[in-house]
A and B are shown apart, each in its own frame.
Chain A
């Protein structure tokens, strides 16, 4: 076994062990925030696969999340609790009696989301740039509108409550790690190289014999699958699923994450997911009143947090277009070099000094 693989396996095991242990120690608020970080990482990775690695601009993630979240919500609410929620119109008898374990519902949600992506992919992926962005955004809104109107399946605007709450860190981090590993393997495979070629230049890629449409739809479908899984986890974490949760503004969170992390960097995306999610929680003090030396500071009131958040997004887009990582990946070598630099040791490692 290669040394790098060994290191990766040790790191993964360490993270999972940490998640297992922390699950028992942390209070529910911190655990919820950390879980949200991992779920956001899954969804952002799925978005980065399409936007960062394949170079298509999709804004449909909220819709795919909705499919996953609703699948989990519909099938995991205990059968006896369903009548209480569906009081306007009873649940469709075809699905009213089916109850699935969370894992099965998650995978089903991912598959449904992927199927939907496959169907819309045929017309949509012929479009480029802005048009693709608008069309995917349109489809994500259409999904939300459909879910708002299918009263007997999704309970319409009332939403589905009593979804068995998921707060097991180990389970969520396992899902996140599976996603990360899968993305890493996919990107370093020949498919991943084809995606990147399409990102750099479609015409050249086609000339090199890459089947554009096949690879685009593949990237799109895989992305939708993981967005569905992420959405399912998100729904289970919240405990209620409501069409208003899946407005397309939700997608903007993930756009911010992948831009901050670097379009086309897996590790950047994961790091940015943690920074943004924890940062958003930390920024909550902007929404509270602030009293300094006995004076109330007038600008601190509800809503300021989102203003700061959007200003940050603009600053990143305008001044740090490459994000944290650009298209690079965090590796053990990079960490070792960073550690060496911190200690002030000259880097003789590669036989030459910096600048030589």
Chain B
């Protein structure tokens, strides 16, 4: 039993994360005398930020598996979804459930358009051209958003049901910070089942392995790739909506940092693995919040944490925590 758990990468990684959290707790309560309730507060914040990262990271990892490219524009799709949320909620005054559905339905259109016009024409081009095209798409979205919506931050209206603060044993948290992790896990389980047990999911895995062979087996490659972008963008939209409830300011450049961090999360967890992306998201979210909580004097370096983690991971285990070894084909 114990040996079986130790051979499972996922189980080991989860155990290691729990152990690190425990050690951090011991450190926090002894060295800087942080009360348990405050620690729990930070932990909830970290978990909800981590699940937001996870939702965006799934989109990165799925596109990377299918097309082996970084979808640089993914962070900006997330940003656009926040603007959709703003317009549905405060311009069209929709009830939030309807707004949520609208955002999740509209954002994938942006994703499909980007794939169709920026990536599809370059499918057989050298990798660097695709990378430049992705950068260009991201730049275009940012500039278009600045032009259309202005650079001044827009604020999402309050959604009382989600932003209500509950306090249990002097730990205060918003409802949304509990909803997000639950939603993320539900989506994760649904997605894993979809990929492993449906015909489309199998086709998706086939395309990830080899485009040519998948085509020979009768898979419509373009349809599968579009579907991947739809799933990725709608998850980014779900993440965006929740993000907006938690951190209300919306600006055209706000997708850049979360986008980069979520790519890091996907790499840390092991690119090509949805569970890995979610785990990477949690590591990143928890790490960022806990580091700032424990060492307030280096809080200015908060954004550097993700990149330092990326470089460490790439040096120690380039395939990521859950990734399997890939051999270079000559």
Report A's interface with B, CB cutoff 8 A: 51, 55, 57, 59, 123-124, 126-127, 129-131, 133-135, 137-139, 141-142, 145-146, 148-149, 203, 249, 252, 255, 259, 263, 301-304, 306-307, 309-311, 313-314, 317-318, 321
Contact = CB atoms under 8 A, between A and B. Distances in A.
Contacts of A309: 143
B306 to A, nearest CB: 8
B77 interface: no
B145 to A, nearest CB: 9
A198 to B, nearest CB: 14
Contact of A310 (B140, B303, B304, B315): B140
Interface residues of B, number: 42
A311 to B, nearest CB: 6
A134 B140 contact: no
Interface in B105-163: 117-118, 121-122, 125, 127-129, 131-133, 135-137, 139-140, 142-144, 146-147, 150-151
B57 interface: no
Contacts of B308: 142
Contacts of A252: 135, 139
B147 A307 contact: yes
Contact of A145 (B131, B151, B303): B303
A310 B137 CA distance: 8
Interface string B169-213: 000000000000000000000000000000000000000000000
Interface stretch (B29-37, B48-56, B232-240, B260-268): B260-268
A130 B260 contact: no
B221 interface: no
B148 to A, nearest CB: 8
Given A123-B314, A123-B315, A310-B136, A133 B131 contact: yes
Contacts of B27: none
A354 to B, nearest CB: 30
A263 to B, nearest CB: 7
B168 interface: no
B301 to A, nearest CB: 6
Contacts of A301: 147
A313 B139 CA distance: 9
B267 A134 contact: yes
B132 A145 contact: no
Of A126, A145, A301, most buried by chain B (CB within 10 Å of CB) is A145
Contacts, number: 112
B70 A133 contact: yes
A306 B136 contact: no
Nearest to A263: B128
B260 A317 contact: no
Given A127-B318, A137-B260, A145 B304 contact: yes
B311 interface: yes
A-side binding surface: helix, strand, loop or mixed? Answer: helix
Given A137-B260, A142-B307, 19 more contacts: A51-B128, A57-B131, A127-B314, A130-B69, A130-B127, A134-B260, A139-B307, A149-B300, A252-B135, A304-B147, A307-B140, A307-B143, A307-B147, A310-B142, A310-B144, A311-B140, A314-B133, A317-B133, A318-B122
A302 B69 CA distance: 33
Contact of A131 (B135, B143, B314, B330): B314
B314 A145 contact: no
B304 A142 contact: yes
B321 interface: no
A218 B254 CA distance: 36
Contact of A123 (B125, B264, B311): B311
A155 B88 CA distance: 42
Nearest to A157: B300
A123 B316 CA distance: 10
Nearest to B133: A317
A130 to B, nearest CB: 5
- By Cβ-Cβ distance, the 7 closest A-B pairs, closest first, are A138-B307, A303-B147, A310-B140, A306-B143, A149-B300, A313-B136, A310-B139
A307 B125 contact: no
Given A57-B128, A123-B315, A141-B303, A317 B140 contact: no
Contact of B310 (A57, A130, A138, A311): A138
A317 B136 contact: yes
A255 B140 contact: no
A310 B128 contact: no
Given A124-B311, A203-B330, A263-B128, A130 B70 contact: yes
Given A149-B301, A249-B139, A307-B144, A314 B310 contact: no
A129 B125 CA distance: 14
9 contacts: A126-B314, A133-B131, A135-B311, A139-B311, A149-B300, A303-B143, A309-B143, A310-B136, A318-B133
Interface string B264-295: 10010000000000000000000000000000
Nearest to A151: B300
Nearest to A141: B307
A248 B292 CA distance: 24
A304 B147 CA distance: 6
Nearest to A132: B314
Contacts of A57: 128, 131
Of B128, B133, B144, B301, most buried by chain A (CB within 10 Å of CB) is B128
A303 B306 CA distance: 31
A321 B304 contact: no
B302 to A, nearest CB: 8
B125 A321 contact: yes
Of A138, A148, A263, A314, most buried by chain B (CB within 10 Å of CB) is A138
Contacts of A149: 300-301
Contacts of B70: 130, 133-134
B315 A303 contact: no
